[in-house]
Structures are given as C-alpha cells and as structure tokens.
A and B are shown apart, each in its own frame.
Chain A
Amino acid sequence: MTQPQWQTPRAAIIWMQLSVAASLALHAGHLPAWLIAAALTVMAWQICVYRGVIAHPSTWHKVLLTSACLGGVLVTYDSLIGLEPMVAILISGFALKLLEIHRRRDALLLIYLAYFVVVVQCLFTQGITTAALMVASVCVITTALIAVYQQGERAHGWLALRKSTLMLAQAVPLMLVLFIIIPRLGPLWVVPQQASAASIGVSDSMTPGDFTDLSATPKVAFRVSFDGDMPAQASLYWRGLVLSKFDGRTWSQLGPWGYRTGNLLQWYGDRAEPWDSLAERRGQPLEYTVTLEPSNGSWLFALATPRPASPGIALTRDFRLYTRSPVVTEKQYRAQSWLDYKIEPERLPPWRRSIELRLPEGFNPKTREVAARWREETPDPEALVQRLLDYYRRDFVYTLKPPLLGKHTVDEFLWQTRRGFCEFFAGSFVFFMRAAGVPARVVVGYQGGERHPEGDYMLVHQYDAHAWAEVWLAGRGWVRVDPTAAVAPARIESSFADYFSAEEGFLDGSPLALERFRHIGWINSLRLQLDELEYAWAKWVLGYDSNQMTLLSRILGRVDPMRMGMLLLFAGSLALLPVGWMLLRSRQRPVRDDIDRCFLEFCRRMARLGLGRRIGEGPRDYAARIANQKPELAPEIWALVNLYERQRYATAGENNLALRQALRRIPRR
C-alpha cells in the first residue's frame, strides 16, 4: 500500500493559519513585538505561496529565518533557558513550520505544537476569559486537524468546525471526571519559572510614594475564606515582609545571615525548628484559606503569628510565610494564625539588637537630636512610643497626595510637611524609635479587606496595601504599632475604600474601575457578583489541588489507588454514556411508515399460515401465490395488495384508513 502524494486541503491551510493566529493572540501579552510581526509575515508569506504568487522558500531562506528568530530571542531575553524564551522559540519555530508543509506529517507536527503552545499559555495567565479563549483556540486547532483528514475536493471548512465543536462538547463530561480524579503528584523536578517580572502589589522594599501608587489600583491582591467567623477589621494586619535595612531613603529586607540555630525555613510537615518556640502562641488559632493573585514574589500574607497549613509553604525565622517559587499564577494556601502571641519576648541577642537599631550616617539630623532628647525625658520605651503617637495625633494629615520630600525624608515629614501616607508614618516612626535606642522595624503587607456580603469571604485589594511598625519591648517581644491608626483610626476600623472614596487620588490609575462606583447600588452588587465568580474559579479550578483530597475522601470515604481506579472507571463510563447513546442512536433502522407497517403485518400473518414471503418476491407475485394456495382468502388479499400498491406507488392522496381496514379483514392466524 503506498500513499498517493499528499495535497494539503484548502480548508486545512485556512484552519492552520487560524490556529497559529490564535496561539499568537493568546501569547501576545508577553511576546516581543518583533516576534509577532515576524510570525504575521510568515503567515502572509504562506498564503502567497499557497496562491502561487511567490515560490516556496528555499532552504537558505528557512535557515536565515530560523537563525534570525533564535538570535532575536537571545537578544530579547539574554538567555535561551527560562519559560518565556522557551515559549518564544516554540512559537517562532511553529510559525515557521507553516512554510514547509509538504506532507501530512508536517501538518500534524504544526497542529500538535499549536495544542502545546496554546495550553502552555496557562502558565502565564489563568483568568476565566483566558480559559475561555484557550478552549476556543483548542476548537480551532481541532478543526484544523479534522480538515487535514478530510478529502480534498469535498473538504468543507464549516463541516470540520461543526464536527470539532461537537466532539469537544462531548468530551466535556469525561474531562470533568478526569480533572476531578486524576491525582496531583506535586512537582517531579525543578522547572524554569517565569522570569521574575516586576512584583505586583507590596514589594520587598519601601520608598515614600510606593504605597500611594498602589492606592490607585483596584485589583484584588488576595481573597480569604475563614473557617470560622471573621475577626474584627482592626485586627486584620496581613503581614507580608519585614524590612530592617534603611539606606536613608528606602527600607529593604535584610539578608538572612547571622542566625545560628537551625534552618531559616520551617516547611509545613517538617519537625519544628529550635527557634519555633521563640514565639508564644496562646488560645485557639484562626484557620483560613488564602487565594493569592500573582505577585511575582515568594512572600505570602498571613495574620500574625502564623503557621503554614498546606504543603510547599514555610515559616520564616521572622515568622512570616514563604513559598519556594515566586507566585506567578494564582496560588492557594491554608494557614493558622494565633492573634494572641508574643515573639521573642525574653531576649534579643546583641547582634540582632544592633541590626534593629542601625541607621545610616548623615540623614535626618534633627530627628536624631529630638529622639535622643525625648529618650532622656521619657526613658520607658512604652511611654516613648505613646509620646510619639500623641505627637502624630496632634496635627498630622493622612492623605493620598503627600508633598514630595527631599534628602532628609524623615526630618522634612516629621517637622515640616506633616502630610503623608502610611509608608511616611511607618518609616518615620521606625527611624525615630531606632534613633531613640528602641529596636524597631518596618512591616509591609495589607490591612483590612472587604467582606463579601454573600460569598462568605474577604477581598483584599491592592489599595489595602499598608506599612506599619514593630518595636521590641522587653518582656513583650515584638509589638505591632501602627502610627497611621493614631492619625486616622477610621482607616483601620472601617476600610480603606470607605475612608478615601471621596478623596481625590483614590483609584487615580483606573478611572473606569467598578470600585469607583461603590456608592451606586447595582454597580456595586454587579462588581461583587463578578468577584464571587472569579473567586469560585480561583478556588475550585485554579486551586483545586488543595481541595482534591477533601472532596475525594468525602466521596470515597478512604482514598486509596484501588478506590480511585474504581471511581475513575465508574464515573468515566457514566460520563461517556450520554455520548455513546447520542452517537449510537442514529444506527437504528430507518423508521418505516404506516403503509409499510400494514404490508409487513400482512406478511407476518401470512407467514403464520405457512406462506412466508420469499426473498425478492414482489407484492403482486406474492398475492398471486397466496391466492392460489388459499382461494378462500383471495378477495381480501387482492383488495389489500391493490390498496398497498396504489398507496405506495401511485401519487394518490388517499388516506391509509382503507388500507388498515383491508388489513383488519385478513385473519390473524
């Protein structure tokens, strides 16, 4: 058997072009512009080749194009290893493949690559809309695959589209079963992650002005479902990062050096590290699930003092939560938090103490001077904290539009402008405390959140980003102090959006954000409903792996491979049942009409008399034969057969009543 020379069907060319276009569109967000332009050029080129306007590209053309693309990727990304460059190479390769479809195998390679490229898109974004676009692209690619196998001259693009849509729709029930049951093993080896793009939301450094920028974004940072009741708004301090280093302008994280006891990270499920006991946790913990939107950072948010409650999450030495790889797609984790806690209450080692007191030379001379004076007047650190907070309370303004600051940021803010946003208050407070000899550090994260009225969860937006301080007091350990709360208590007790909704500058960056219209009832409820949908998506689809075991053990009782296999078999066949029925149904015999039914019944009755109709015997011959054998029935038989022939073959519009009456006169046995 030899295959005749293969000719790419026209419909297949069109659908393959559309497949390439769809995968380009899905990846457009992170691909360099030149690559998209190159791919579009190649597509146009292929159309020209197909229509015979220009010749097939020569080998030289292809080598040149391929190396140009590789070089371009290398220049753009500095490396060929990593998720983005790999996807870029894949896309350029498969767009170039359009130029050399000579055999069916080439077309199949292109189509399989298209499937892969389209699905890999989920590593970059995972929203509902992206998922819908992905399914649509899979449909286009499947259509291309069908078109490849259609016959040349009869190939019909729309027929292929109908078929692929039908098949995908039929595949959905089984897909759901597979998605629910297939076990998630967890990473088998380390894979290149998305190169850390600029972090979204709270970052690992704090400069005056950072948080004011965040206040302009209405995006959701994360959503939280509490197992029990939600705690009071004022206690919702979502701790993200601890910043102990100051260079005169920017607060940043300290390197993890200097600690001598045990590992710096205590992973979930591992033995407790020796330093774990430095935190005293009292009472019942809050338990909750956080669904974090991509932040591109590996820090997680939790209420103090936390302990991780899902795999892959660690507790850091400064009692925050941490994950190994940056959060580039939605991430779901569970945590426990003890709101009643003490961290390192007994003793701060001298080297730690000196770190938490360190200040750069040559900045904010006035603050240093005042701090030293106040310390002498008020030697008790707790009283000193109160005194400074009272000072803030007197005539400071909490505003989204603070004046710009020069070199001595703290001096200018504390003694001149006195208008600022949370990072101004936190930064100046910690600086003052350190200058006065009280160990202090900046903590950044989010404060508060919006309770969803129906969804039973809490939304934390980017504009809820917040900075506050922690001071170390002997016997009490690290104590949270929020200078912003002293200036604007309502900001902490209600919510940020309520506090600022009237002020200019709130959500400046997004004039059309639904959050801006919170005061209009129906828009607000629409926004909350949309958010509920998005949350359900994030929780049940994107974060399904963390719910899988709970769900499966609820169905199975006990989860073991045997039961999982049985469930897969049972649910799988159940899912295929409607499809099988739908497809096999049309195999039934064609329905006979009333006229045929009457005649067949007549034949059956005659057969009972031992006069079955012979194969190929016409009604007239048959009637003649019976009439010969059973003359007593002849009139009835002839009446019936004549009627049957007239009904069947004449154009007569007579009804079938006469025929049925004629049948009634034939004896049943």
Chain B
Amino acid sequence: MATAWRDTINRRYRQWVDWRLPASRHTRLNNRRLFVFPTRAGFAYIGLLVVLWLVATNYENNLVFAATALLGSLLVIAIFHTFLNLSGVTVEAGRSFPGFCGGHAEIEITLSQTSKRHRESISLAYASSDSVTVSLPGSERTSATLAVEATHRGWLDPGRVTIATVYPLGLIRAWTILDIKTSALVYPRPIRAEAQLQSVTAPGEDSRAAMPGREDFRSLDKYQRGEPLTHIAWKHFARERGLYTKHYSDPVDERVWLDWDAFPGLATEARLSALCEWLLRLQGERIEYGLRLPGVEITPAKGDSHRDRILKALALYDTPAVVRSQP
C-alpha cells in the first residue's frame, strides 16, 4: 500500500517535472526554471537567529535586536545572490563518451553566459554520478564532465541532471533538474570466456594484406591534406618534384572473426561480454578482426575507429531502437 502510494507520488512528481521543465539540449536558466529553498545549513542559521532573538528579548537588548535583524536580512539578501548565481546561465549538452557496462560513461555539459557576472561554485550531478563543481567567469563558457554509472548495455539515459548552487553563504540552494536530451553508449561488460576463434585466410589472398600503417614502405603518392607531416618525402620536395607522402603498411599476421557462434552455450549478454573481452584482447596485437553477429557482419580490419564500430555494434545488439537522439 505504502509503496503503491509512493509510486503514484513519484510518477506524479515526474510528470509534473516533465511538464514544468521540458527536455531540451539547450536551456537558459531563469526564474521559471530555478527552484530556491534553504539548505540544512540555512535552517541551522535560522535556528541561530531564533536563539539571538531570544537573547535580545530576554535581555531586552536593542543592539542584539539590531544584530539579529542584520543577520536576518543577510539571509534574505542571500536568496537574491544565490538565485542570481545560476540565473542567466545557459546549459547545453556536450559530447558523451562511452563506457563499459559496470564502469562509467561520461557526459559533458557546457555552461555559458553572456552577462559579465562571475559565477562561483556551481555543482552538477546526475543521480548516479559524483558531483562536479565548476565556476563560470563572466562572458565565458566552461564545461563539466560527469561520470555516470553504466548500468546496462546500449544507450544509457542518465536521467535529469541537477545543477545547483549554494554560493555565496550556503544558506540557500538554487537548483534545477534538467533533461538535456543526452545519452551515452554503454558497451558490454568484458568477461573472459574460452572460445575457438576462426582464423581466416581467404584463398588467393596474401595473409599480409595491405593495411595502412607505418612499418613497411609501400608506395609514394601525391600529398593529401591532413596526412602526417612526418610521412612527407622531404627529399622529393627539396628537389622541387612536388609534395609526396610515403605510404607504409603494417604487417598483419592473421585475420580473425569474432564470431557469435564461437561461444556455444552462452546466453546473449554473456556472449556479447565474451566477444567484447576478446576484442579488447586482440586490440593492440597484429591481428585484423571482424565481427559476426546474427544479422551483423563487419569485415576484418584494424584501428581505433574500426574497434569503436565493433564495440558500438556489440553495445546496440538486440536493443530497442535509439530512444534518444545521439549527438
């Protein structure tokens, strides 16, 4: 009964928050989006004021009255200052960095402002992250990266981010809870499992397939913008024959398929975890690897972007379609 009530209240609260603070990747904080309430320290301060008032009353001391009135007014002024420490700040969703399940995924949030006010000690936190405190100098932008607990594979919705400040006196807290429409990719948790990985060498194909690399010289081609300067054939250039880059290739010993069928008897998540672990193990060795999942096939290759492609495929295998737009 009690839990049912609590659930109802929680649902109603979430509905109210969704109505009050609709999700947006770009929000300017103002009086419609900020809440203000005394902190625990603020209530302690109110207690101090009550004690001082009792002293003033019992001793009939007008100077203590005046001091109590001054400290009381300070509390009221603190409401303005704390509110204005957040009001006018623009909150934007930044990049997000994937993580492994059981670890942390990171979400970047950018605060910026056009006004010249110096904002001090603004803390940002998700329900499942440590809080990060930043300050925001006048007319600038600053960003905070929050490490969110990666609880399940796939797209992770971190929920609403709490942006709060108690500056300057710690007596009043101004805060907002924003849905900045961001999500982070969570890869399967790497778990070691034995497998027979198929080593492939297609007939008529040299196992030392040409992969762009740095080890063996392969050819000399016309320079393309963005190629590393260290690969430019400076001797050619000095002889005024134009700008050329030397191309090399890494020797590849083997090509391997990370295959769904290599782990008979494992459940889906366990299989994905095992594949993920194998991928991480192959990474950094002179091996080209590809991925075969039911309905997905990525041909063997090497490199960071290739690895990320495979990890993403593992992360999103058999998950509901993308719920949130991904930057």
Q: Which residues of A contact B (CB under 8 A)?
A: 1-4, 108, 112, 115-116, 118-120, 122-123, 126, 131, 134-135, 138, 142, 145-146, 148-151, 154, 159-160, 163-164, 167-168, 170-176, 178-179, 182, 184-189, 191, 329, 541-545, 576, 579-580, 583-584, 586-587, 589-590
Contact = CB atoms under 8 A, between A and B. Distances in A.
A583 B82 CA distance: 11
Interface stretch (B49-57, B184-192, B195-203, B247-255): B49-57
Nearest to B87: A587
A446 B9 CA distance: 74
A116 B65 contact: no
B210 interface: no
Contacts of A120: 55, 64
B62 A167 contact: no
Given A150-B120, A172-B73, A184 B169 contact: no
Contacts, number: 166
B114 interface: yes
A423 B93 CA distance: 88
Contacts of A146: 167-169
Given A116-B48, A167-B74, A122 B67 contact: yes
Contacts of B65: 179, 182, 184, 544
Nearest to B82: A149
Given A112-B44, A583-B81, A184 B73 contact: no
Interface string B237-252: 0000000000000000
A175 B77 CA distance: 11
B169 A142 contact: yes
Contacts of A108: 41, 44, 170
B55 A123 contact: yes
The 3 closest A-B pairs by CB, nearest first: A171-B73, A178-B69, A174-B73
Given A119-B68, A126-B63, A583-B84, 11 more contacts: A123-B64, A142-B169, A160-B168, A175-B69, A182-B69, A184-B65, A188-B57, A191-B55, A580-B80, A583-B80, A583-B81
B72 A178 contact: yes
B66 interface: yes
Contacts of B127: 1
B153 to A, nearest CB: 24
Given A3-B131, A178-B73, A542 B62 contact: yes
A580 B61 CA distance: 31
Interface in B106-161: 114-118, 120-121, 125, 127, 129-131, 133-135
A108 B42 CA distance: 11
Interface in B213-269: none
A160 B169 CA distance: 10
B167 to A, nearest CB: 5
A552 to B, nearest CB: 15
A191 B58 contact: yes
A398 B94 CA distance: 93
Contacts of B58: 187-189, 191
A259 B127 CA distance: 78
Contact of B115 (A176, A579, A587): A587
A580 B65 CA distance: 25
B324 to A, nearest CB: 23
Contacts of A167: 74, 77-78, 81, 168-169
B70 interface: yes
28 contacts: A1-B127, A1-B130, A2-B130, A3-B131, A108-B170, A112-B45, A116-B48, A119-B68, A122-B64, A123-B64, A134-B63, A138-B71, A142-B169, A145-B169, A149-B170, A150-B121, A159-B118, A168-B70, A174-B72, A178-B69, A178-B73, A184-B57, A187-B58, A188-B58, A191-B55, A545-B62, A583-B84, A587-B88
Contacts of A2: 130-131
B60 to A, nearest CB: 6
A142 B74 contact: yes
Contacts of B121: 149-151
B170 A590 contact: no
Contacts of B55: 119-120, 123, 191
Contacts of A545: 60, 62
Contact of B52 (A1, A119, A172, A590): A119
Nearest to A183: B57
B5 interface: no
A184 B44 CA distance: 23
Contacts of A149: 120-121, 166-170
A123 B129 contact: no
Interface string B15-57: 0000000000000000000000000010011001001101101
Most buried by A among B41, B115, B127: B41
Nearest to A83: B59
A118 B70 CA distance: 13
B76 interface: yes
